[in-house]
Amino acid sequence: MSSPTGQESGMFMSIESKRLKIEPKTYSRRKSDKNRSKRNSNSDDLPSPSKTSKSKDKYVGPPSVILDNGSYTAKIGMSNNEPKVIPNCMMKVKSERKRLFISNQIEECRDLSGLYYLLPCEKGYIMKWTVQKPVWDYIFNNVCSVEDKPVVMTQPLYNFKAIQEITDEIFFEEYEIKSMFRANPTDLAKYEYTNNVVGKQTSCIIVDSGFTCTTVVPYIGGKKYYKGIKRINVGGKLLTNYLKDIISYRQLHVMDETYVINQVKEDTCYVSSDFKQDMRIAGYSGEQNTIVKNYVLPDFNTIRRGYVQQQGDTSEIAEGCQILRLNNERFTVPEILFYPSDIGMESMGIPETIVKCIKLCPPKEQPLLAKNIVVIGGNANFPGFKERVYSDVRSYLPDHWTVHVYKPENPTTFAWKGGKSLSEDSKIKSLLITKEQYEERGSSYTYERFSDWVHTQKGDDQEKNKVSEVKPAAESILRNSNFTRFDLFGKHEPEGEEDCVVVEESMEVDKTVTKDSAGGNNKSSESVMNVDTAKDSKEDDAEVSNSGRDLETYQEEVEEYSNNKTERSSSKTAKTTINARSSNMDTYETNCFNSYDFDVFENTYI
Amino acid sequence: MSVENNAKSDTRPVYKATTFQHTSKSNNKKRAWKSLKQIISAERTLPWPEDYVHYSSINAPPSFKPAEKFSDLSGLAAPYTDPQTRLRFANKEEYATLIGLPMDITAGYLALRGASSIVG
């Protein structure tokens, strides 16, 4: 992949740029062009006018390296190429005890029995650097060179600071890469989905079912909606291990054969669309049982890879191959993704979590989210996975919502593709952190830039009263509809000065209403009431005051309901004296209630 | 192919400074990496704001649906449970094999479906 000439010019370049202080991007462009013309030139990257005219904001720079660093496989490739899916681990085998196989070196190994994995990741987080470093060294030396190229890399959600620091150190200081951007795989998948699949910005839910866990991440307005994110600790690893266990108990002892059983899983398992029916069929014997399959295990002598035996073909058995008889295992194993409680895990399955996640989002966005469910990750490759997710989610949601589940052609590399499209977007310029920036500002800077969960939420706390995001809108809705409950839990909003003004305003409004409609009881005393006592007073007062506060902040949403307002104010004559705003808010609230009517998980969102 | 690659990686490391020495290489052995469990539990104890969403708070909650019962021996739907071993079975043939199983095997079966705790 990388030629020595490339390295020389790379060194040359780094010296040059230090001396001459040429702007790195333009310089590298020239340099890489030169390089390319030396090799066989790839027309895709040359700044051909036809290309640029097609899409104005296309970023034409040096091709970047995209690395989707999954816990089991790494998806790696240049942005002008196709991704390679290679194991992100080191392996040991019984036949060659001395050798350590790194990543795809395992292809050279003939006898894969008793393969032992050394995985760098635990639950998706890089933990064993002694494993990860050699794997990266190998990958960047032999599969794809990172020299002087921007790197777009994935990291799991809530990647811990310590991990990011070490990653920075390795990439910037040892590999001396030019610039880097890290994002969650779901971010990249969302980018790919909105830009290249739907073609417009939309809210969506990304379900990433990978090796170690399954994460459900809703995106609203292009951003993660943190309150809706859920993780299920079920992934491909657990399924393989479970299959290994049950086969060992029921048929053959295969506890050491993780690699083979993983292949068995990939070859035979499927997601049942009608679990009860399939279970009934699996109970039959003989011809009626259409589910049972014989799997010929590899002996690494004549059979290198196991395969499913064709029906009626019994010749293999005579030769003395080992055969696994897979009956209900074929669909009960992936079923764990849908019902982790089958193996005693106290957790929701994927469809239930998706629905839960939708319910946690603002009501306005919920139908949109249901329409845009994207399933990615290795487990989405199970036949029937998408259909099952669809039918289950469908059964949970109200009838008039459209539910759509999108499964990309290759769910494994979808995030990689997102990284590729992102690296071709002009936006990438502002996202990348260059080596100079890193050297200047250190690891905490990169941490802050690449960990959107830190500042998104921090900002949310600080400017609770003025952010016009959808996120606080949802909060206000929850607060309004469950005011008493929040009161019980003692969750009061911090009271700023602006707030007080707003509250007093609406209080006065309220007073006039009650005087008009119900006649004066003890309301006159309220005119001197301060905010705190208002909170403790009757519930509807508080509700109005609350809504008055929301008004100030969510003008846009209020505008949407202005049509409703006119209807309402005409019907309720008593409220005609109210100023327009609070009447708006009333209708807003009732709308919210309506959309909560079907809530199957009522009262669970605290 | 691999030999070539190995040779190449020996002579030309992926990083450009061939003389690069990791600063922590000398005391690499002493440097104990924190395990994931430690990191997560440390993260959990941090003083988070009340509604801050962090690693430990995004776990999927328990399901609302009751778990279905499957035979431990065959995986089929199991309407029966053996009160002694607490193993589930689908039919009388399975029961016949089940009563002959030694203790450690039955315990293993229970552990397999996460039912090995005494309370459960």
Instruction: Supply the pLDDT for residue B13.
Output: 60
Q: Are A384 and A242 in contact (CB under 8 A)?
A: no
Which of B35, B53, B63 is nearest residue A349 as measured by Cβ atoms? B63
Interval A155-167: pLDDT, tens: 998 888 888 888 9
Instruction: Supply the pLDDT for residue A58.
Output: 66
Report, in angstroms and rounded to the nearest whole number, the Rg of chain B calculated over CA atoms: 27
Q: Tell me the mean pLDDT in the region A194-217.
A: 90
Which has the higher per-residue pLDDT, A97 or A379?
Answer: A379
Q: Which SS3 state, helix, strand or coil, does residue B57 take?
A: helix
Q: Which of residues 128-187 of A touch B (CB under 8 A)?
A: 128-129, 136-138, 140-142, 145-147, 157-158, 160, 162, 174-176
Angle B13-B15-B19 from CA coordinates, rounded to 5°: 75
Chain B residues in contact with A343 by the CB 8 A cut-off are 112-114
Nearest to A297 by CA among A306, A289, A288: A306
- Name residues whose C-beta falls within 8 Å of residue A148's C-beta, 6 or more positions apart in sequence: A10, A13, A14, A28, A31, A32, A62, A177, A178
Q: Do B58 and B68 have their domain in common?
A: no
Nearest to A579 by CA among A605, A544, A530: A544
Interval B42-57: pLDDT, tens: 888 877 777 778 888 8
Q: What is the 3-state secondary structure (H, E, C) of chain B?
A: CHHHHHHHHHHCCCCCCCCCCCCCCCCCCCCCCCCHHHHHHHHHHCCCCCCCCCHHHHECCCCCCCCCCECCCCCCECCEECCCCCCEECCHHHHHHHHCCCHHHHHHHHHHCCCCCCCC
Does B20 map to a domain?
Answer: no
Boundary (domain end) residue, out of B42, B62, B82: B62
CA within 13 Å, CB half, B88:
19
Q: How far apart are CA A158 and CA A453, in angstroms?
A: 7
Q: Are A393 and A354 in contact (CB under 8 A)?
A: yes
Q: Which of residues 88-117 of B touch A (CB under 8 A)?
A: 90, 105, 108-109, 112-115
Q: Which helix (H) or strand (E) holds A342?
A: none
- Name residues whose C-beta falls within 8 Å of residue B63's C-beta, 6 or more positions apart in sequence: A339, A340, A341, A346, A347, A348, A349, A352
Chain B residues in contact with A486 by the CB 8 A cut-off are none
CA within 13 Å, CB half, A524:
3
Instruction: At A117, list the tokens.
Output: 């994995």
Instruction: Supply the pLDDT for residue A219.
Output: 92
Indicate the burial class of A314 (C-beta count within 10 angstroms; 0-12, 13-18, 19 or more): exposed
Q: How far apart are CA A207 and CA A213, in angstroms?
A: 11
Q: Which of A18, A158, A171 to mutate to test the interface with B (most CBs of B within 10 A)?
A: A158
Chain B residues in contact with A282 by the CB 8 A cut-off are 75-76
Whether pLDDT at A495 is above 50: no
Q: Do A141 and B9 touch (CB under 8 A)?
A: yes
Q: Which residue has the tokens 């499957």?
A: B70
**Shortest Cα distance, chain B CAs vs residue A372, angstroms:** 20
If one counts every other C-beta atom within 10 angstroms of the C-beta of residue B54, the result is 17
Q: Do A129 and B51 touch (CB under 8 A)?
A: no
Q: Which of residues 50-79 of B touch A (CB under 8 A)?
A: 50-55, 58-68, 70, 73-77
Question: pLDDT-based confidence at A10, cuts 50/70/90?
Answer: very low
Please state the separation of Cα A292 from the chain's center in Å: 35
B87 touches chain A (CB under 8 A): no
Chain A residues in contact with B9 by the CB 8 A cut-off are 137-138, 141-142
Indicate the burial class of A114 (C-beta count within 10 angstroms; 0-12, 13-18, 19 or more): middle
Q: How far apart are CA A354 and CA A338, in angstroms?
A: 11
Interval A233-258: pLDDT, tens: 999 999 999 999 999 988 888 888 89
Q: How far apart are CA A286 and CA A605, in angstroms?
A: 49
Does B4 map to a domain?
Answer: no
Q: Tell me the mean pLDDT in the region A175-185.
A: 89
Split into its structural domains, chain B has a count of 2
Angle A249-A252-A255 from CA coordinates, rounded to 5°: 75
Interval A293-337: pLDDT, tens: 888 888 887 778 888 887 666 655 556 678 888 888 899 999 999
Instruction: Supply the pLDDT for residue A448.
Output: 85
In terms of DSSP H, where are the helices of A451-561? 452-462, 470-481, 483-489, 497-517, 531-536, 539-553, 555-560
Instruction: Supply the pLDDT for residue A59.
Output: 64
**Shortest Cα distance, chain B CAs vs residue A137, angstroms:** 6
Q: Do B75 and B48 have their domain in common?
A: no
Chain B residues in contact with A342 by the CB 8 A cut-off are 67-68, 70, 113
- Name residues whose C-beta falls within 8 Å of residue A47's C-beta, 6 or more positions apart in sequence: A60
Chain A residues in contact with B12 by the CB 8 A cut-off are 4, 7, 141
Most confident of A546-555, A579-588, B21-30: B21-30
Q: How far apart are CA A222 and CA A71, in angstroms?
A: 26
**Shortest Cα distance, chain B CAs vs residue A577, angstroms:** 38
Chain B residues in contact with A140 by the CB 8 A cut-off are 14
Q: Tell me the mean pLDDT in the region A495-508.
A: 42
Instruction: At A535, list the tokens.
Output: 């909170």
Q: Do B68 and B91 have their domain in common?
A: yes
Which of B2, B16, B77 is nearest residue A10 as measured by Cβ atoms? B16
| Minimum CA–CA partner of B17 in chain A | A174
Size of interface A-B (CB pairs under 8 A): 153
Q: Do B69 and B116 have their domain in common?
A: yes
Question: pLDDT-based confidence at A461, cuts 50/70/90?
Answer: very low
Which has the higher per-residue pLDDT, A526 or B25?
Answer: B25
Domain, as residue range, for B52: 33-62
Q: Do B85 and B74 have their domain in common?
A: yes
Chain B residues in contact with A335 by the CB 8 A cut-off are none
Does B23 map to a domain?
Answer: no
Q: How far apart are CA A309 and CA A313, in angstroms?
A: 7
Question: pLDDT-based confidence at A289, cuts 50/70/90?
Answer: confident
Q: Do B61 and A348 touch (CB under 8 A)?
A: yes
Q: Do A142 and B5 touch (CB under 8 A)?
A: yes
Q: Tell me the mean pLDDT in the region A550-561.
A: 47
Q: Do B56 and B72 have their domain in common?
A: no
Chain A residues in contact with B109 by the CB 8 A cut-off are 249
Question: Percent of chain A, pLDDT > 70?
Answer: 63
Chain B residues in contact with A349 by the CB 8 A cut-off are 63
Instruction: At B8, list the tokens.
Output: 């190449």
CA within 13 Å, CB half, A207:
35
- Residue A117: beta bridge partners? A91
Interval A405-441: pLDDT, tens: 999 999 999 999 999 998 888 888 888 898 888 988 8
- Residue B88: beta bridge partners? B81
The alpha carbon torsion through A234, A238, A239, A241 (nearest 10 deg) reads -170
B10 touches chain A (CB under 8 A): no
Q: Do B67 and A339 touch (CB under 8 A)?
A: yes
Does B118 map to a domain?
Answer: yes
Q: Which of residues 453-472 of A touch B (CB under 8 A)?
A: 453, 457, 461
Name the amino acid, one letter, at A156: P
Q: Tell me the mean pLDDT in the region A471-492.
A: 40
Q: Are A23 and A389 in contact (CB under 8 A)?
A: no
Q: How far apart are CA A82 and CA A104, in angstroms?
A: 17
Nearest to A352 by CA among A392, A387, A391, A381: A392
Nearest to A71 by CA among A140, A195, A156: A156
Q: Do B5 and A11 touch (CB under 8 A)?
A: no
Q: Do B86 and B111 have their domain in common?
A: yes
Angle A200-A203-A204 from CA coordinates, rounded to 5°: 105
Q: Do B71 and B58 have their domain in common?
A: no
Question: pLDDT-based confidence at B15, cuts 50/70/90?
Answer: low
Q: Which helix (H) or strand (E) holds A180?
A: strand A179-183
Instruction: Supply the pLDDT for residue A317.
Output: 56
Q: Tell me the mean pLDDT in the region A365-387.
A: 92
Q: Do B81 and B95 have their domain in common?
A: yes
Sheet of A307-308: strands edge to edge? Answer: A307-308, A293-296, A323-326
Q: Which residue has the tokens 């959808």?
A: A470
Chain A residues in contact with B39 by the CB 8 A cut-off are 125, 160, 162
Q: Do B86 and B51 have their domain in common?
A: no
Q: How far apart are CA A333 and CA A337, in angstroms?
A: 8
* Arithmetic mean of pLDDT over chain B: 75
- Residue A151: beta bridge partners? A65, A180
Q: Do B86 and B53 have their domain in common?
A: no
Boundary (domain end) residue, out of B62, B80, B101: B62
Q: Do B58 and A137 touch (CB under 8 A)?
A: no
Whether pLDDT at A596 is above 80: no
Residue A207 backbone phi and psi in degrees, to 5: -110, 110
Q: Are A71 and A35 in contact (CB under 8 A)?
A: no
Question: pLDDT-based confidence at B117, cuts 50/70/90?
Answer: low
Q: Which helix (H) or strand (E) holds A165?
A: helix A161-168
Does B28 map to a domain?
Answer: no
Please tell me whether the interface predicted TM-score (ipTM) of this complex is above 0.90.
no
pTM value is 0.69
Boundary (domain end) residue, out of B45, B62, B79: B62
Q: Which SS3 state, helix, strand or coil, does residue A90 take?
A: strand
Instruction: Supply the pLDDT for residue A189.
Output: 92
Q: Do A249 and B35 touch (CB under 8 A)?
A: no
Q: How far apart are CA A64 and CA A146, in angstroms?
A: 8
Which of A10, A123, A348 is nearest residue B63 as measured by Cβ atoms? A348
Whether pLDDT at A185 is above 60: yes
A363 touches chain B (CB under 8 A): no
Instruction: Supply the pLDDT for residue A161.
Output: 85
Q: Do B75 and B118 have their domain in common?
A: yes
Which of A136, A328, A461 is nearest residue B76 as measured by Cβ atoms? A328
Does B3 map to a domain?
Answer: no
Nearest to A344 by CA among B37, B98, B63: B63
Q: Do B63 and A11 touch (CB under 8 A)?
A: no
* DSSP code string of A526-556: GGG--HHHHHHS-HHHHHHHHHHHHHHH-HH
Q: Do B59 and A158 touch (CB under 8 A)?
A: no
Whether pLDDT at A572 is above 70: no
Instruction: Supply the pLDDT for residue A444.
Output: 86
Question: pLDDT-based confidence at A541, cuts 50/70/90?
Answer: very low
Q: Tell me the mean pLDDT in the region B96-104.
A: 88
| Minimum CA–CA partner of A124 in chain B | B36
Which of A229, A246, A461 is nearest residue B112 as measured by Cβ atoms? A246
Does B21 map to a domain?
Answer: no
Question: pLDDT-based confidence at A41, cuts 50/70/90?
Answer: very low
